[in-house]
Amino acid sequence: MSDRYAPFDTLRIERPADSILKITFDKPETFNSLDEEGHRQLTYIWPEIDADESVRTVIVTGAGTAFSAGGDFDMIERIIDDPRTRLQTWKEARDLVYNIINCNKMIISAINGPAVGAGFVVGLLADISIAGKAARIVDGHTRLGVAAGDAACIIWPLLCGMAKAKYLPAHV
- Beta strand 106-111 with 57-62 is parallel
> Exposed e or buried b for every residue in 55-73, given b needs 16+ CB within 10 A?
beebbbbbbbebbbbbbbe
Among the residue ranges 22-26, 58-62, 65-69, 85-89, the one predicted with the least confidence is 85-89
What pLDDT, on the 0 to 100 scale, is given for residue 146? Answer: 60
The C-alpha atoms of residue 48 and residue 16 are separated, in whole angstroms, by 18
Residue 172's pLDDT is: 44
The CATH number of whichever domain residue 58 belongs to comes to: 3.90.226.10
In the chain, the number of structural domains is 1
Each residue's pLDDT tens digit, 1-39: 458 999 999 999 999 999 999 999 999 999 999 999 999
| Residues of the domain holding 38 | 3-171
Instruction: Give the model's pLDDT for residue 148.
Output: 61
How far is it, in rounded angstroms, from Cα 71 to Cα 57? 26
Which is more confidently placed, 75 or 12? 12
Q: What is the pLDDT of residue 165?
A: 72
β-strand pairing of 20-25 with 11-17: antiparallel
Residue-wise pLDDT tens digits, 116-171: 988 988 998 999 999 999 999 887 766 665 656 556 677 777 777 878 777 765 44
